[in-house]
Each structure stands twice: as C-alpha cells, then as structure tokens.
Homo-oligomer: A and B are copies of this chain.
C-alpha cells in the first residue's frame, strides 16, 4: 500500500534491535485518514471471506481494526491485556510473550462476544514474532471459530511471525512488508 509505505519512509524511525518507531501515525499519535484507507484496503482484500467479526488486541490494533470493521460493516472486539488473570470463567484467554518488554501478558475476550458461527479477521498493527497473533489464534481455537484472514499494517518479513499464520493455511495480508532495518537507519521494503 503505497500511501502507507510513503508514510513509513517519511516518518518511521529505525532504532536499535530492529525496532521501527511509527508512533507519529500508528501507535501513539494516529493518522485517522490513513487508518480509514487501511480499513478499506483490508475490506477489499478479504471481501470474499464473509467476515462476521474483526478481532484485535488493545491498544495499537484498535484504530486499524475499527476502520476495517467499519468498511466490512461488522463488529470489532479488542482483546484486553492483563498482567495476570484470576477469574476466567467467562473469558477466553491466551498467553502473549513480549520480546520487546520481555514479559508475559495474558489477553482475554469475553465469551459473550465470540460464537462458533463467527468467521473472523484478525487485525494488528505489527507482525514481527507473531506473539499477539498467536494469542488471538489460541483464543479463536478455544472458541471453535474459523479464522478467515489476518490483516497486518506493518510486517517485518525478516522475523518469523508470518510462519505462524501460513502454517495454518490462513490468508495473510500485510499492507507494508519490511525486509530489513539497517544500522544506518534505512528501511528496506519487500518488492
């Protein structure tokens, strides 16, 4: 998606340890018009999948997911993050390890908002090691739900997250695919 790649080129900042900082338009400050276009693009890419619900994880996934839900005309559910979980009877839960923060969090979705009839699209801001998406896939499994697609705003193709999705035969669409972040701050996209 050219609009997005241009934005990443112009405003993305490369930090050590393969961190790409895009907090100027995606995960702290948000560009609503860009999110709206991203939502429309996800809807176009998954238009044949009869999606009934979009799932994401708080907080950075919410803006692109809600725009995807708007374009697809379906509800969005964002999983909540918790340090620990005690009462879980009415929740589907999964563990998510953060490589950046080196902590394990739990994510949860209320059972009331997932039905085995649902055909869901998972949306997230980044796909790197695939931990958040794996957590959502675990929740979908627990709920007996078909995951019809995974929509990612920025994928780091040099990390192994995509394998998690492709191993399960799920359609993966990443709107920007980055193959390298160089030591001198360059961002290289997949052709």
Which residues on A are within 8 Å of B, measured CB to CB? 23-25, 28-33, 35-36, 58-59, 62-63, 66-67, 69-70, 73-78, 80, 109-110, 112-113
Contact = CB atoms under 8 A, between A and B. Distances in A.
One complex includes copies of this chain to the number of 2
A85 to B, nearest CB: 15
B66 A28 contact: no
Grouping DSSP codes into helix (H, G, I), strand (E, B) and loop, the A interface class, with mixed when no group exceeds half, is mixed
Contacts of A63: 62-63, 66, 76
16 contacts: A28-B77, A28-B109, A30-B62, A30-B77, A32-B67, A32-B69, A32-B75, A32-B76, A33-B70, A35-B70, A59-B59, A59-B62, A62-B62, A62-B66, A66-B66, A66-B67
Contacts of A36: 70
Given A24-B113, A59-B59, A62-B59, A29 B67 contact: no
Given A36-B70, A70-B33, A113 B28 contact: yes
Contacts of A70: 32-33, 35-36
A74 B35 CA distance: 12
A139 to B, nearest CB: 13
Given A62-B62, A62-B63, A66-B63, A33 B73 contact: yes
Most buried by B among A25, A75, A109: A75
A110 B23 CA distance: 9
A132 to B, nearest CB: 14
